[in-house]
Amino acid sequence: MPKDLAFIGGKTVAIEDAKVGIMTHALHYGTAIFEGIRANWNEDKSKLFIFRPWEHYERFLQGCSILKIEIPYDVEALCRITVDLVEECGYRQDLYIRPLAFKSAQKIANLKLHELDDEFALMTVPFGNYLDLEGGARCCTSSWRRMEDTMIPPRVKIAGLYVNSILAKTEAVMAGFDEAIMLNNDGNVSEGTGENIFMVVKGQIITPPSSDNILMGITRNTIAQLVQQEMGLEVVERTIKRSELYLADEVFLTGTAAHLTPVGHIDNRPIADGEIGPIGSQLINLYSDVIRGKNPKYEHWCLPASPKLV
């Protein structure tokens, strides 16, 4: 049987022993940085392939810098800890990996980051489809606006910022939709609640720029490279107006958890015929092979791990 383990305090422990106190600063104020990383099971090779962990941990450490969190690990050390934990847990299926760096001080009335203690933790959980859909996702435009960079930097994964996404996601699901699309304060398209967004117009792939308060997603970058290198199509970063999405040939969402998710409807309007489009369909198959170590051209993006038989 696989084991549920976590790395915390510099050692690996049973997940039920990885605890923090009720006065932990991060619990009260959201002073934490996290990442979401996928380990994808390849049955033929009997290995898990951790997808682009180096880039995830580079962004993770950038976030730590913003919140003045200091941990005693660089990117390579974090990758080694991740492989060790994945192998020790013994799961032979797709996993979601969650690194977390947080203000661990047992203080609830101190708003000065530089005076607080720090901790690093890592855990893994079995994880299938983030959006369990048979066809394209049904999305709505959220009434909640995407956080501005002058409020909380959206380019890194700060825990407290995700209340913004949680409000939008909850609103969408309670209204009968699968996902929300968030606009920035200028009314331009920013991203989903946990995904970047692309639209296809006459063979051109368009996605919002960093200036529209997006997370600079690693899956977003992956898809952009695959579009250009494998499909020979142009990727353009520019501001997108809400109504442009309604008239696009295709719209899809990308993210570590969501992979590539086609959008069938937005605000009860079908995108083209409301079905998965040819470019999105081709990218789903291409991306699936890449993240599972099945495409030799992109093996450098994958860090293999061999789960222990337990």
Residues annotated catalytic, as ranges: 157
Rg, C-alpha atoms of the chain: 20
Helical H segments across the chain, by residue range = 25-29, 53-66, 75-89, 162-174, 218-231, 242-247, 278-291
- CA–CA dist 34, 119 (Å, integer): 12
The one-letter amino acid at 60: F
Which residues have CB under 8 Å from 69's CB, separation 6+?
A: 33, 63, 101, 102, 103, 113, 118
Which amino acid makes up residue 90? G
d(CA 157, CA 33): 6
Alpha carbons within 13 angstroms on the beta-carbon side of residue 64 total: 23
Residue 276 per-residue DSSP state: P
CA angle 267, 139, 268 (to 5 degrees): 30
Q: What residue ranges in the chain does DSSP mark as E strands?
A: 5-8, 11-14, 32-34, 37-42, 47-51, 95-103, 118-126, 137-141, 179-183, 189-192, 196-201, 204-207, 235-237, 250-255, 259-266, 269-270, 302-305
